[in-house]
A and B are shown apart, each in its own frame.
Chain A
Amino acid sequence: MSTYILGISCYYHDSSAALLKDGTIVAAAEEERFTRKKHDTSFPINAVSFCLESQGITIKDVDYIGFYEKPFLKLERVLSQHLEMFPYSLKTFLGSTPSWINEKLRVPRIIRKKLCYNKDILFIEHHLAHAASAYLLSPFKKSAILTVDGVGEWTTTAYGIGKGNDIHLIKEIMFPTSLGLIYSTITAYLGFSVNNSEYKVMGLSPYGNMNRKTNIYYQKLKKVVDVKEDGSYRFDMSYFIYHYADRMPSKKLCRLLGGPVRKPGEELTQRHKDIAAALQMVLEDVMTKILNHVHKVTKQDNIVLAGGVALNSVYNGKILRNTKFKKIWIQPDAGDGGTSMGVASYIYHTLLGKKREFVLKDAYLGPSYSTKHIKSFLDKNEIKYSEFKTREELLKTTAKLIYENNVIGWFQGGMEIGPRALGARSILSNACNPEMKEILNLKVKHREKFRPFAPVVCEDDALKYFDCDNPIPEATDFMLMVYPIKKQWRTKIPSVTHVDGSGRLQTIRRGQNPLYYDLIKEFGRLSGIPIIINTSFNIRGEPIVCTPYDTYKCMMGTGIDYLVMDNFLIKRDHNSRDIWDSEKYATD
């Protein structure tokens, strides 16, 4: 009999579920993909249902359920922070009380009731779940571990060491001091949404003054953050109010940064860009000090990272250059969504002591649909399509369409876990066309002009075009590392070259996704440069598509020219748009 363990993460942001079968993560997905509500916090009933269905089992086959944090410990923190800041905290406290009473404190009951489950439910600390998701899924048998996020129960930053099956967290920094929350505070200050748009601030930073000596906001932020040589840090909390109010930047912080909070949609000035740059530099300073200290204490060559801050791909790309670590691994869903995989692995390997054999090599753990299923969907909805006769034909036609500057929707195999589209639910286009960024923004993405598009390149070609670490870390496969593009290529792939000459590349190994790999090679044969733009298959503000229905609907609502769905080619212009204005015509 196989051992099944279900990991669940919910009620904060990015609810998710993951299923582990005999040590292997066999299915994982975020709830937002099913409910179509970005960063959905609700109980991941659809994700659980998918995980079980994918293995042809029901809940009674599941041996353990793991939850990604300890609710009572978290409540202790929430109560003490509100008591400490009473009466300022009263409004926030009253606002958050219903969700504590109805959901967060009743997690075991909700799990049992919603899932009709009667075996053990195990709760592990939030940062331990992060650490487990980073270390136990990595290829390392021994490694230093660093987790940095907004806040778990009390912990905001923790480091430790993983050996064999065991994880030992050595030291931690506690709330309210939090590198994640300062990043979120400045994100809010710059007019972007918290727990969502931190990556936009990261993308904005190269437009600002990246000189530590001349960026005045860097000097100002340094006053707020006191970092010691061992990387421990603390904030002057008079600049923040996130520990007792919803609105994150305080008036004092606004005064320090020389203006009020930017309203969404307001023009981004050079001051905003400089603040984003200053923030990125402060984060990098603190992280470098922490990592150097972690190396000194753990004496390990390997480092694994998790937590929302580990999604800061700009800094990730600098870690091996700025610290003494020799190898790095980050899992594709390093934020809270990935903790469901972490808690399931922790139960199996650390608590049950079962041998580690699994390494998370790709992120295609979500729902997949058979050719028959997709054909029946297309036929039922009277969608006009053509079918590729051979794999060669699919590759040649798609590469040619990309080369001819069409925007291609690419739907193949299992959906990715984590915030990045990695070649299963992607929009692909020609990276060599200087106009492509504008075309993509105009036709599909409608996103801020400053945000770059990401290149995808075959792993064996990456060193030719990018100034990557050598050997290329596996984290690059998950689009989690930003590296400089080599100078001679910057003008040849302008659409994916960021203002500072860098690119947030995805490397692809043939074993991970042969069709995607061969497509890029085929495109290379046509264009001379085997690099394609890969952006997520969604429109701004929506989660990445999941089902054939979501995908087709997204295409028809945008300017995507062609959709390559499994073995079928669908041209948008060949299909009537009106019927897809209403969901009632669609079935899936």
Chain B
Amino acid sequence: MATKIGEKVQNFYNKTPFPDYELDKFNSKDDLVISAYPFAKILDRSIPQNATVIDVGTGTGQLSAFLSLRRKCVWGIDFSDSSLNKARQLKEKLKLDSWHLKKVDILDSKQIEAIGMKFDYVLCLGVLHHTGNAYGGFKNILRLLKPKGYIAVGLYNKMGRVPLKMRKTLAKTIFKDNNKVKDWFIRMQIGDVEDKERARGWWNDQYLHPHETSHTIGEVLRWFKKNNIAYYQTVPASTPFYQGNLEIAGVWNDTNEAYPNFPIRAYNQISWIWKTHHEGGYWITFGRREN
């Protein structure tokens, strides 16, 4: 990533690895399972054991490390050396032989090609909105996806992000020196945490990040259409009154969610202002390459 934005973002992550954790917390593979987020567990159950997986922008690597526990080949790529160093320490400590780590800039198609293999599942969660060229990054990561392979793209939503942007402004202006309010803001997002490194990582990522963009469902649907990716679903759901149980249905389950046409997605994105503000307006779209 030779751009100015890229350099800024790279420096930022080198200084503040994300999502970050205290290495002492992970003494066995069981610890990875216990500390995995509920959504990571849902992803794990949704991906068959024999599938190959790549986590693009893996950071310090909890998700890809956790996914590698039950699989023979899971890759994690990132362009931040210090994040990857932490991930490598974890890999070595827990002897995660099926977890492969590599420094890759996703805006550089040559580096992507250099990986030299394609995957059944490509996960790119919370990465593209920090690249300065989200669509370019998206097209590049498709080079890693096998025909009929599955993809998940996590981005900030234009509407859902509004409350966080307001909180961000408040934190930088009126409550600049008020740590209590800042604590409250971050607790709102990740709950009470003892792990201070993790809390700091999240604070940095959400409130101090040098670059972020936000996107709409329609935008991602257009990316999918242009690149022959069939739409499966979004999390949170794009269909109003949808009551599917993610823990049971998993993701990439194409049974129930209708295609979000313009009125539906407009309605939903407005509702995301209050429904997703805890997560900073974050949503994931799931699809599958058609050929």
Contact = CB atoms under 8 A, between A and B. Distances in A.
B30 A59 contact: no
Interface stretch (A93-101, A108-116, A441-449, A504-512): A108-116
A64 interface: no
Interface stretch (B74-82, B114-122, B151-159, B239-247): B239-247
Nearest to A60: B253
Interface string B46-59: 10110000000000
B244 A116 contact: yes
B255 A52 contact: no
Contacts of A372: 28, 30-31, 33-34
Given A49-B245, A115-B248, A58 B45 contact: yes
A60 B250 contact: yes
Which of A60, A113, A115, A371 gathers most chain B CB within 10 Å?
Answer: A60
Contacts of B70: 56
A21 to B, nearest CB: 13
Nearest to B29: A372
A48 interface: yes
Interface of A: prevailing SS:
helix
A48 B248 contact: yes
Interface in B247-261: 247-250, 252-253, 255-256
A116 B30 contact: no
Contacts, number: 68
A59 B42 CA distance: 11
B45 A57 contact: yes
A573 B44 CA distance: 41
Contacts of B248: 45, 48-49, 52, 58-59, 114-116
A113 B250 contact: no
A113 B256 contact: yes
A523 interface: no
Nearest to A52: B248
A547 to B, nearest CB: 14
Contacts of B42: 58
Contacts of A370: 30, 33-34
Nearest to B256: A116
Interface string A43-84: 001001100110011111100000000000000000000000
Contacts of A48: 248
B243 A56 contact: no
B34 A58 contact: no
A410 interface: no
Interface residues of B, number: 24
Interface string A370-399: 111100100000000000000000000000
Contacts of B44: 56
Contacts of B48: 61
Interface in A505-546: none
B102 to A, nearest CB: 26
B247 A112 contact: no
Contact of B245 (A56, A114, A376): A114
A53 B255 contact: no
Contact of B34 (A112, A117, A376): A376
A197 interface: no
Contacts of A116: 244-245, 248-249, 253, 255-256
Interface in A162-203: none
Nearest to B252: A60
Interface string A21-53: 000000000000000000000000100110011
A279 B44 CA distance: 54
Which of B244, B247, B256 gathers most chain A CB within 10 Å?
Answer: B247
B249 A373 contact: no
B210 to A, nearest CB: 36
Interface in B82-140: none
Interface residues of A, number: 23
A197 B248 CA distance: 34
A3 interface: no
Nearest to A370: B30
Contacts of A114: 243, 245, 248
A114 B243 CA distance: 7
Given A116-B248, A116-B256, A117-B255, A58 B46 contact: yes
Contacts of B252: 60
Given A116-B253, A370-B30, A56 B244 contact: no
A456 B213 CA distance: 65
B255 A49 contact: no
Interface in A100-154: 112-118
A263 to B, nearest CB: 42
A81 B124 CA distance: 60
B48 to A, nearest CB: 8
A376 B30 CA distance: 11
A57 B50 CA distance: 13
B255 A112 contact: yes
A116 B34 CA distance: 27
Contacts of A56: 44-45, 49, 70
Interface in B213-257: 243-245, 247-250, 252-253, 255-256
Which of B30, B33, B42, B45 gathers most chain A CB within 10 Å?
Answer: B45
Contact of B249 (A53, A59, A376): A59
A53 B31 contact: no
A381 B34 CA distance: 15
A57 B44 CA distance: 8
A58 B48 CA distance: 10
Interface in A253-272: none
A372 B44 CA distance: 20
A115 B250 CA distance: 10
Contact of B255 (A61, A118, A376): A118
B45 A115 contact: no
A52 B45 contact: yes
A219 B28 CA distance: 68
B49 to A, nearest CB: 7
17 contacts: A45-B248, A49-B247, A52-B248, A53-B41, A53-B45, A56-B44, A57-B45, A58-B248, A60-B249, A60-B252, A60-B255, A61-B48, A112-B256, A114-B243, A116-B249, A370-B30, A371-B30
Interface of B: 28, 30-31, 33-34, 41-42, 44-46, 48-49, 70, 243-245, 247-250, 252-253, 255-256
- By Cβ-Cβ distance, the 7 closest A-B pairs, closest first, are A58-B250, A116-B249, A372-B30, A118-B255, A116-B255, A116-B244, A116-B256
Interface of A: 45, 48-49, 52-53, 56-61, 112-118, 370-373, 376
Given A53-B45, A116-B256, 15 more contacts: A48-B248, A49-B247, A53-B41, A58-B42, A58-B45, A58-B46, A58-B250, A59-B248, A60-B249, A60-B253, A114-B245, A115-B245, A115-B248, A116-B249, A370-B33
